[in-house]
Structure formats: structure tokens, C-alpha cells
Structure 1
């Protein structure tokens, strides 16, 4: 893949259409725009739905919760994501500019917000780069450094401290994610039961508080069209909060599979000139801290990934969505559980 084209929106999936006339009226009034509204959909991603809006000469992105999400959890808070982007604007130039938010469900059937469109390249699962190793490593390093930049923001000065409750963060995470899994469970998976029991007994103290993205991966960043090793924007702030920065770092690790990892997880591997220990060393250098309890954080990040996928599979299992991409997701849940349990049993983050 040469990665010289921008991320493209496509025809809207059946059952996920938006009422264009009422949406057009809303946008024209709130943003003082004119013209005929055209709506397309960005086809990737399994959580919040993302649409491309074209109104006059303006291109924007609309984000709304997935259909059926209200049946299993309280997440997908569009207002919160809008506020995060607003707070980040003066301090972090990788956050897209938010334009308008509404809780009025009469417009499209759910709360939503609209932000500026950032043109660029988004790498997707199974994308392979035909670059020389040096350029791929440069992208890897920029990707790690950008997360470190986010974690190095002053949460008091930016006002981001109001977006979370850092005290006892890790314990609440363990309790909350275990509950989410139980609420969305469809199959018996022994490794999920094993890791949940282990996490409860090995919760580390929350020490290193920062503003964290919580879903930092390559298909949530926009690369510069002219120089794709450079990051232009970070997307999908749905789960961002204030908490232990090492949990956020570990989420990035969970999205960094290696050749010996379970088959379904290897599909996440977009670029891989750095292994998980290389990534750990680079991150520690950039934040000036040693990552304590790295095995716990890595294993828990894999478990969280498994829970997120389980929640998506639950919607498919219950018939809330007919998206055929969801049919085999239960195997990915099992692979997340297997790798999490393997890390715990071995006490390592790679080389099992």
C-alpha cells in the first residue's frame, strides 16, 4: 500500500441512513450554511457511526451512537466527546475542531455532534505499507511520541481535569469492565473468567494521572497526505478521560500484535518495525517515567479490547444490527482472552 490517497466515505449501509431534510435544516440554521446536503458514511469502525457531510463547499463529519447501543451500556456520550474536543483546542493541535452538538433526538433519532473534516490518510487493519523500513520506523516513533505529548499535557491548566476522576481509577476500571463483560456475555470463555479473577487480586495503585485517549491506534489517527509519517489529527475521543496514563499506553500495546500472537489479533498489525518492548522503551524515554506493572496493564488492555468486541458482537447476536462484519467477532474475543491470559501466566508482554 502506497498510502497516497485520503480516507474515502462511501454509500451509507442499509439501516444506518440519516433523515437528510431535517438534518440539512438543522445545519443551515446552526452553522449559517446554505446548499443541498449530501451524506456519505465512513465504512470502517465498529462503534460510533461516522458520516461525511457535504453542504455547499463545506465538508464536515457527523458522529452518532450505533443503533442498539442503548440496550447494553451507557457509553457513546456524544456531548462528552464534543466537550473534550472543545477543551483540547487551545493546547493540542491534533484534535479536530468541533462545530455543533445537540441532544435533540427528533433530528436523527439520537444525540450527535459535527466536527470539521480533517483530510488525510487513515490506515486500516490489514493495510500493509510498501515503504522502506526507515520510514515505517519513523511513523512508529511519531505515533508513540504523539501519545506521549498527549500524556504530557497539564490537566489543570487545560481544564481537562474536569473530564475524569483519577483517584482509584484502575480499580474502577477493573470493576467496570468486568461488569460490562458480564452484561454483554454470549459464550463461555474460560480465559475471560481467569483474567477477570486475576485482575481483581492484582490491582495496582493509580499514580501517574494524565489525560488519556483510551483507544489510541493507527485507524484513529489521520496521517498527512504529503508526508504520511507525520500525524495530522487524532480521532474518536469517545472513551477519553483523566486516569492512569499507563493504561492508555497499554491500550496502544494491545493494538500492536506480533507474528506469534493469535491469528485474529494479527489483523490489527498495520505497521510493525518496532516490537512491544521497543515501543515500551521509546515511550518511557518520551514521558521520563518507567511503566510500572506493565504486564498487568497490557493484559488488562487486551481484556478491555475483548470486552469492546464482545459488546459489538452482542448487538449482532441479539439482532440489533445486521452488519455481516460482526458475525465472526466472537473468535476475536477469544483471542484477546487467550493473549491476556498468556501474558499473565508468563509475566511478559512478548516472546511467549
Structure 2
């Protein structure tokens, strides 16, 4: 639990609203990397994001990195949480932290299903998907240089580093041979996107990391969880979003293809077309990004499997990883994409 008195004193020093009012902190969520509390003080309602005491030391840098992105999004069209204040002085609460506006909305991860009217109204549900696609398209249009994010990432050599970095990472955690790994890696080493326009990217963009406003029509309230945010290639976010999208969103399999019911959703082609319309980016080289996204996700999940222990969820990655990597290799081998 955070020290509410020390937080209140710091907020007073920053001249934030609610000075002198009692402060209430309500735990919302958290794990080994971050904890999130709702902060209520008088009429002010916001959220604090802070690493727990046992989190690795570099999470303090990560928190301030997230803050830079959230602060930079103010004044843009990207749905985001309002930037309130940040503190890198660990003497206040023991870790770096930031305050962001409270989002009056809901997350698909809350109950692992949609909320009404998106359960009973298929057309309204389609709007959730288009809003998801639009959010990441709007993010790709942010002028990251003008927002002072020129040093957030290293766009030069981004794609070469992706393959080199994650290949080295896999070699460090390797505990078994993964079918398709060699083929997909070699294909990525020999192909590049048709163009590369650097932009702000989320890094883990999916329904789990957005919030929607209540009621229809669907409206994206905020993109959240910026732990992987960087300046890189926004089209990798697009591929990450759709790499597991059902081939047929009208089939019974779409109900169980993810953590939410995907029946009645727009097709993958419709999602990509909406992204292209809003972002203004060409998507003719999408196969390259899909191979990269599947390959990278397989490696990320393999790390979880290798350290699973008695964790049933992580153990389940044991069968998911080979299927995903084989999918990346099959797409690489079958596509006529040339870069």
C-alpha cells in the first residue's frame, strides 16, 4: 500500500487540486512490475501508476518513459489518459511514479467479455474493432519529433535490430527446438518492408490494452499500458493487433479464438483497410509485418513457457509457441512478398 500522507504532501507541493483534502487510495490492479491505485481527493479523481517495492530497479526508468509518452499525447487526437504529474524522486514513495486522469470507461479484460450493448448488438460490436484499428492509426500520425520524443527510440536500423535482438534473446532462453524458427528467422533476415516511416508505437496493441466509453456507438476512451512504447515502426503494431484475428469472424471458432468473443467482428481485410484510410500508410507489405509479429510473439511466449514452473497459464504456452512459429514460417514460405 502506498503512503497516502506522503503522496498528499507531494501533491500539495506540486500545486495539484485538492490541497488540504484527505486522500483516499483504492487498489485497482497490479503485479510484479506495476501497481495501479485510484486516488480520490476532494473532487479530484486520478490514478497513480507505481512499481512495487520488489520490482527491478529499471522499472523506475520505465515508469518515467511511460510518462513521457502519456504527456506527449496531450493535445493529439489519440485517445489517452490525461497527464497529471510525475515524480522521479524515490524519497517520496520509494519508487518513481506518475499520476494520470481517471478513465470513465471499461476494459474488455475486466470480465473477459463485452459489455452491453455489445453482446446483443452485432453491429455495435463491429464498432469496437474499428475503434481499435483507428486508435493505433491515429497514434502512428503523432509528430514524435515535435513532441520531444526524438530520443525515445532508435528508428535507424529498427528492423535489423528487431531480428538481431530477438534472435539473441531466444538463444539465451532456449530450452528446446521450435519448429519453423530457422525458416522464419532466415526469411526476416533477407526481407525488409517496402518503406519505413518511423513513428510512435505501443508495442503490445490489442483489446487488452485499451478502454472504451460506456454505451453505443463504440468509442475508444484511452490506449493504456505503455510499458513497451517506443519510436519504431507503427505498422508492427498493426500486425500485432491482427496476427491472431480469426480468418472467419462468422465461424463458431471465432467465439473461442481469443479472450473475448470475436464473432461478428470485421474481417482482417476490413481492419487493415480502416487503418490504411486513417493513417495514410500503405499496407502492401503487411505480410512482412505479420511474419515479424508472429515470430516475435512466439519468442516472447517461449520465455514464459521456459519459466512456467507450476503456473498453468504459462505452461499452456508450450503448445501455443510451436503453432505460432510454424504459422510465421508457413506465411514466409508461401507469400510472394518481395522487398
1:50-199 to 2 correspondence within 5 Å?
Answer: 50-57=35-42, 58-64=44-50, 70=56, 77-103=62-88, 110-124=95-109, 126-127=112-113, 129-199=118-188
| 8 Å CA contact retained: 1:170, 1:205 | no
Q: Kindly tell me: are residues 224 and 190 of structure 1, through their superposed partners in 2, closer, same or farther at Cα, counting changes over 3 Å?
A: same
Shift in Å, 1:233: 0.9
Select the residue among 247, 258, 261 that pairs with 1:267.
258
Q: Kindly tell me: are residues 328 and 142 of structure 1, through their superposed partners in 2, closer, same or farther at Cα, counting changes over 3 Å?
A: same
What's the TM-score once normalised by structure 2's chain length?
0.79
DSSP 3-state at the match of 1:62: strand
Task: Determine the C-alpha separation between the residues in 2 that align with 1:112 and 1:121.
Answer: 23
Residue 247 (structure 1) aligned with residue 236 (structure 2): yes
Shift in Å, 1:332: 3.1
Task: Determine the C-alpha separation between the residues in 2 that align with 1:335 and 1:162.
Answer: 37
- For 2:6, the equivalent position in structure 1 comes to 26
- For 2:211, the equivalent position in structure 1 comes to 222
| 8 Å CA contact retained: 1:151, 1:211 | yes
- Structure 1 residues 290-321: Cα deviation after superposition (integer angstroms, max 9, x where no partner): 2142112012112222233334445544xxxx
| 8 Å CA contact retained: 1:212, 1:242 | yes
Task: Determine the C-alpha separation between the residues in 2 that align with 1:108 and 1:182.
Answer: 38
Residue 296 (structure 1) aligned with residue 284 (structure 2): no
Q: Kindly tell me: are residues 178 and 64 of structure 1, through their superposed partners in 2, closer, same or farther at Cα, counting changes over 3 Å?
A: farther
DSSP 3-state at the match of 2:106: coil
Unmatched runs of 5 consecutive residues or more in structure 1? 1-17
Q: Kindly tell me: are residues 226 and 219 of structure 1, through their superposed partners in 2, closer, same or farther at Cα, counting changes over 3 Å?
A: same
- For 1:284, the equivalent position in structure 2 comes to 276
Q: Which has the larger radius of gyration?
A: 2
Shift in Å, 1:132: 2.7
Task: Determine the C-alpha separation between the residues in 2 that align with 1:65 and 1:174.
Answer: 30
Aligned residue pairs total: 322
- Structure 1 residues 7-31: Cα deviation after superposition (integer angstroms, max 9, x where no partner): xxxxxxxxxxx4x3xx323311221
Task: Determine the C-alpha separation between the residues in 2 that align with 1:36 and 1:155.
Answer: 35
Unmatched runs of 5 consecutive residues or more in structure 2? 13-18
RMSD (CA atoms): 3.6
Task: Determine the C-alpha separation between the residues in 1 that align with 2:163 and 2:321.
Answer: 17
Task: Determine the C-alpha separation between the residues in 2 that align with 1:343 and 1:116.
Answer: 42
Shift in Å, 1:234: 0.8
Task: Determine the C-alpha separation between the residues in 1 that align with 2:297 and 2:36.
Answer: 24
- For 1:15, the equivalent position in structure 2 comes to none
Shift in Å, 1:96: 0.9
Residue 334 (structure 1) aligned with residue 309 (structure 2): no
Q: Kindly tell me: are residues 158 and 107 of structure 1, through their superposed partners in 2, closer, same or farther at Cα, counting changes over 3 Å?
A: closer
Q: Kindly tell me: are residues 179 and 271 of structure 1, through their superposed partners in 2, closer, same or farther at Cα, counting changes over 3 Å?
A: same
Task: Determine the C-alpha separation between the residues in 2 that align with 1:100 and 1:253.
Answer: 34
Task: Determine the C-alpha separation between the residues in 2 that align with 1:176 and 1:68.
Answer: 27
Task: Determine the C-alpha separation between the residues in 2 that align with 1:105 and 1:331.
Answer: 42
DSSP 3-state at the match of 1:163: coil
Shift in Å, 1:227: 3.1
Q: Kindly tell me: are residues 112 and 338 of structure 1, through their superposed partners in 2, closer, same or farther at Cα, counting changes over 3 Å?
A: farther
DSSP 3-state at the match of 2:180: helix
| 8 Å CA contact retained: 1:121, 1:228 | no
Residue 38 (structure 1) aligned with residue 25 (structure 2): yes
